[in-house]
Amino acid sequence: MDGSMRTFAAALSVAAVAGSAGAQSPSSGEIERVLGGISWFGQSSIRIEANGKVLYVDPLHYRPGDEADVILITHLHQDHYVPANVKALSKAGTIVVAPVDLGTGNTVLKPGQNATLAGFPVEAVPAYNIRKTQFHPKAAGNDGYVITINGVRVYHAGDTERIPEMKAVHADIALLPLGQTYTFDSVGEAADAAVDTGAKIAIPIHYGTGEGKHTDARCFADALEKRGVKTVILED
């Protein structure tokens, strides 16, 4: 194990403690309030409005005229990072986060690192393929993110398969990619991942544009219903 791996393992265990024993579970009312501020614009593009702030993850699509306080980029694939869109959403003081230096003065958060952004604790967590490593190799160091909003942990998985680190995420709301080509192998695997994270609410994303069908979201919901996880299918 090299130095960076040790650092990562230490950071992960800290996150695990913070997400379980250290923190009190939010009420279902708090979770519902945060849920009400989440919008999906297709692919992995998520907008979260909370406490008067606007956060985006991977704005391939966005609300025209919007100004973001925080923009989180999971990785540099063109369906996740569009420099012109980041620019369009930026105002004075917008914090742009990515796993690498974009050459724009952004904040770099690598998996295992965290920061408080616009008042929200944000943890970068790993996102990678285990089998289909040609798409998102672990060595690329891509991010998923856990954003804590009023005690509610919102997990955006990025592009990933089911990976062991998901058991340390301790999400309340989990946004997971369906599509079965570049991310999870199957809808069932995505459902297993939702259970791994401990989420009370799962939201399927990534399907319906380049890959994955709307019926996949329905199957995902059915698979999770039996396992006590509520699925919310957002309109894209």
Opening angle at CA 57, ends 175 and 63, nearest 5:
110
CB nearer Zn ion, residue 159 or residue 216: 159
CB nearer Zn ion, residue 69 or residue 159: 159
Beta strands 114-117 and 120-126, pairing class:
antiparallel
Q: How many residues bind Zn ion, per CB under 5 A?
A: 2
CB nearer Zn ion, residue 94 or residue 180: 180
Within 142-201, which residues bind Zn ion (CB under 5 A)?
159
Name the segment binding Zn ion (CB under 5 A); options: 70-78, 92-100, 165-173, 215-223.
Answer: 70-78
Query: Which of these, 9, 67, 55, 31, lies nearest to 202 by C-alpha position?
Result: 31
Q: State the nearest-atom distance from the C-beta of 50 to Zn ion, in Å.
A: 26
CB nearer Zn ion, residue 170 or residue 206: 206
Can you read off the two tokens belonging to residue 33? 């309030």
CB nearer Zn ion, residue 14 or residue 60: 60
Within 30-49, which residues bind Zn ion (CB under 5 A)?
none
Question: Cα–Cα distance between 83 and 43 in angstroms, integer?
Answer: 16
Question: Cα–Cα distance between 154 and 139 in angstroms, integer?
Answer: 25
Q: State the nearest-atom distance from the C-beta of 3 to Zn ion, in Å.
A: 28
- Residue from 77, 153, 170, 206 binding Zn ion (CB under 5 A): 77
Q: Is 115 helix (H, G, I), strand (E, B) or coil?
A: strand
How many distinct helices (H) and strands (E) make up the chain? 5, 13
Chain-centre distance for alpha carbon 133: 19
Question: Cα–Cα distance between 56 and 115 in angstroms, integer?
Answer: 16
Q: State the nearest-atom distance from the C-beta of 131 to Zn ion, in Å.
A: 15
Q: State the nearest-atom distance from the C-beta of 78 to Zn ion, in Å.
A: 9
Name the segment binding Zn ion (CB under 5 A); options: 34-42, 43-51, 71-79, 125-133.
Answer: 71-79
CB nearer Zn ion, residue 159 or residue 196: 159
CB 179 within 8 A of CB 160: no
Other CB atoms within 10 Å distance of the CB of residue 54: 21
Q: State the nearest-atom distance from the C-beta of 143 to Zn ion, in Å.
A: 11
Residues that bind Zn ion (CB under 5 A): 77, 159
